[in-house]
């Protein structure tokens, strides 16, 4: 019944997986949705309930789709981050919500932390091992 609380179990699994990968200090965001100026443009620009932060930056994003019949949760863990590429893809939306903003700078300031030093396959295996 609690949409925010429902995502927290996924965040707890994410924190445990990060710890196993040697990345201690992860925290589950337990507050409401935190919106940045680019949040209307792309989901990863905000911070939602259950998402995992390291030093205030998102390392595990969580989304859910709920219907009367059930819920589907999915997560993302950024392993690479190319601000220029993201800026090019998001430029029309950035221009709409932040007129005059430099798209590369706007994207560079998003609260996203890519885990560039971890192996993608190992990360997936460790995260899956922490899910029920």
pLDDT at 82 > cutoff 70: yes
Give tens-digit pLDDT for 8-47: 989 999 999 999 999 999 999 998 889 999 999 998 899 9
Region 84-110: mean pLDDT is 94
Region 72-85: mean pLDDT is 92
Look up residue 56 and give its two tokens.
């205030």
Give the phi and the psi of residue 52 in degrees, each rounded to 5.
-105, 130
Confidence of residue 1 (pLDDT cuts 50, 70, 90): low
Look up residue 116 and give its two tokens.
């560039």
Confidence of residue 108 (pLDDT cuts 50, 70, 90): very high
Query: What stretches of 21-102 show up as alpha helix (H) in DSSP?
Result: 83-97
pLDDT of residue 128: 92
Give tens-digit pLDDT for 36-75: 999 999 988 999 999 999 999 999 999 989 888 988 889 9
Region 96-110: mean pLDDT is 94
Give the sheet arrangement for strand 70-76, strand by strand: 27-28, 52-54, 57-67, 70-76
Query: What stretches of the chain show up as alpha helix (H) in DSSP?
Result: 3-20, 83-97, 103-108, 120-129
63 in Cβ contact with 11 (< 8 Å): no
Q: Report d(CA 36, CA 38) in Å as an integer.
A: 5
């Amino acid at each position: 019944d609690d949409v925010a609380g429902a995502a927290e179990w996924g965040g707890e699994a994410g924190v445990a997986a990060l710890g196993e990968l040697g990345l201690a200090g992860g925290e589950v965001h337990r507050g409401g949705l935190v919106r940045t100026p680019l949040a209307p443009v792309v989901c990863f620009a905000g911070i939602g309930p259950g998402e995992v932060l390291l030093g205030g930056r998102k390392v595990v994003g969580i989304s859910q789709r709920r219907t009367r019949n059930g819920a589907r949760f999915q997560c993302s863990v950024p392993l690479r981050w190319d601000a220029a590429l993201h800026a090019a893809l998001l430029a029309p939306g950035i221009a709409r919500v932040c007129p005059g903003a430099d798209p590369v700078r706007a994207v560079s300031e998003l609260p996203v932390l890519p885990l560039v030093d971890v192996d993608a396959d190992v990360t997936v295996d460790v995260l899956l091992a922490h899910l029920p």
